[in-house]
Chain A
């Protein structure tokens, strides 16, 4: 029996589950859903990782160890444009050589691109009868599902501040996330999209002016609530309007298309790309300033080089536009008090400026 698992980020694990559930050979293969990131995952990851590696490496390897301990024997991992491109190789080595786990490691990336042919070959161990047509068909549905999830969660994020009772919209979000596990056709996605959008629109009754805060930075901290001490959630609960551009569908589907546009937006400060999402952090901050946002919070995990590149440029922008930007670096911290103190002070500062 093969038991397949994969590291988690935010709620995207549900989309991956939906995909795998449709392609595996159910008689010989099971899916072990990864648990959400928590302290235990971080601890497991910390022990297995080199000290100075960036924090998402620790989360993902911790998540893998947790799954392996719970019986998984196949692990899938991705890669990306920064150090993330080497995560899979290094993690495989650590897990197999250092920690002596016996399992099959499927790396879907080669360099920093999806290696489609190779990936198909490797993924066949989950279902030997898998045809290329079937994978393409299911992949199409999964990408649509991903777009749907991001569309609707972004819609919720952008509009939560206009809801009178925040718990109502949270209930809807929960329902959506449950649906993501089971949706099985494009038609269903379309229907759900309409249904939920109407439900959310019904709740938007509060028309007060809200403080507007943008969140930019490194993708993992942005998309995984635990690794940013639930920053986004806290701001939403306090009733501020927040905006974040980075989502999985942006990274996988739109990023390469908008490269030129992003560089153009940032042209006064950057002439070439600074790696991973660094360029976006700069461009999006400028966009937020143009849109009349009150402040920006820039977050990154310890050791994230592209975002370190972006920081001095953001400081310059902050000076040029006298626009408040707060910086914070997350590592394997156990207490979020310090972070909360700074965010609170930042918001007090924005409110004070607003009143003047």
Chain B
């Protein structure tokens, strides 16, 4: 049996899966990125090396990376496939759910919508410039209210009268929420209002002018939050499906893409125990001043990102 690895290095969390030839997940892991993608990937790989049997580790044929740190981590671990998270999510979801038409994805710093018709992506959109209405917003506001993210669901269910919170912008939403708290609204109503605000923000940004058709699949870290799922159900008036691996579908997708692009040689899943230094420098080759990212493995220059000509990257 051949095995394939997919790693999705997101802004908040790093996800990894190992799949077999039939796309079954044989191992998976979900850890925090903590703003240090290299450390997180090291940790993730070490966990896999402990968790997986020798049979699996010796028969890995491809490694794919996706997520916002895909290029950096891809170069460091020698990934065979490096692809954007939009494609990875679409492929991952379609492998689990053949008849999906709409994918709603809300992660730590971004949110996207992917529309699928007959197994082909026909439209997608991703939030630009601003992270309003994403996981980061939910978790920071929950912290302000002294509520664990995991408990949001419980509070949502308790709420009888959710407050209305402006959804367009996180900064306004926050001042709105403080105001509502100061005039004595209950905590559960505030939290329910927050969940609704995330959904409002999402529909304002993405749903406008698009046809949401069944089947709707909701994924990404925020989909684990039943409060937001319920709010989506109410808003879209549709059944919302959440896969049990909804937080891993990006990693699953990239593993499947890596599988289709795999060659006949084995690769090793390993991150050397050396210090990786990243330096972002302006290239001095000409007046263009390209920003080049130099990746050093110890003292040795491993690779560069952002180099545009033969003069640079030295």
Contact = CB atoms under 8 A, between A and B. Distances in A.
Interface stretch (B12-20, B116-124, B176-184): B116-124
Given A38-B287, A338-B128, A315 B209 contact: yes
B86 A348 contact: yes
A344 B257 CA distance: 14
B23 interface: no
A338 B290 CA distance: 17
Mostly, the A contact residues are: helix
A35 interface: yes
Interface in B209-228: 209
B21 interface: no
Contacts of A230: 308
Given A337-B68, A338-B128, A341-B84, A324 B123 contact: yes
A349 B287 CA distance: 36
A348 B291 contact: no
Contacts of A337: 68
Contact of A324 (B122, B289, B290): B122
A52 B271 CA distance: 46
Contacts of A340: 84
Interface in A312-356: 315, 322, 324, 329, 334, 337-338, 340-342, 344-345, 348-349, 352-353, 356
B85 interface: yes
Interface in B125-167: 126, 128
A38 B289 contact: yes
B273 to A, nearest CB: 28
A236 to B, nearest CB: 12
B83 A349 contact: no
B288 A349 contact: no
B83 A39 contact: no
A40 interface: yes
Given A39-B289, A226-B288, A349 B122 contact: yes
A36 interface: yes
Nearest to B71: A337
What size tier do the contact residues of chain A reach?
Answer: 20 to 34
Given A324-B122, A356-B118, A344 B83 contact: yes
A59 to B, nearest CB: 14
Contact of B126 (A39, A40, A334, A342): A342
Contacts of B126: 338, 341-342, 345
Interface residues of B, number: 23
B282 interface: yes
Contacts of B120: 349, 352-353, 356
A5 to B, nearest CB: 14
Nearest to B117: A322
Interface in B279-312: 282, 287-291, 308
Contacts of B128: 329, 338
Contacts of B209: 315
A348 B118 contact: no
A349 B68 CA distance: 19
Contacts of B203: none
A345 B86 contact: yes
A348 B121 contact: yes
Nearest to A312: B209
Most buried by B among A40, A324, A334, A345: A345
A39 B291 contact: yes
B87 interface: yes
A260 B235 CA distance: 47
B121 A40 contact: no
Interface in B65-98: 68, 83-87
Nearest to B287: A35
A348 B84 contact: yes
Nearest to A335: B291
Nearest to A346: B124
A356 B119 CA distance: 9
Given A40-B289, A329-B128, A345 B119 contact: no
Interface in A29-66: 35-36, 38-40
Contacts of A40: 289
Interface in A252-269: none
A177 to B, nearest CB: 13
Contacts of A352: 120-121
Given A35-B287, A39-B289, A230-B308, A341 B86 contact: yes
A6 to B, nearest CB: 16
Contacts of B290: 38
Nearest to A316: B209
A348 B119 contact: no
A39 B209 CA distance: 36
Nearest to A38: B289
A36 B288 contact: yes
5 contacts: A39-B291, A233-B308, A315-B209, A334-B291, A352-B120
Given A341-B85, A344-B84, A353-B121, 14 more contacts: A36-B287, A39-B289, A226-B288, A322-B122, A338-B128, A341-B84, A341-B86, A345-B84, A345-B87, A345-B124, A348-B87, A349-B124, A352-B120, A353-B120
- A-B pairs, top 3 by smallest CB distance, nearest first, are A345-B86, A38-B289, A348-B87
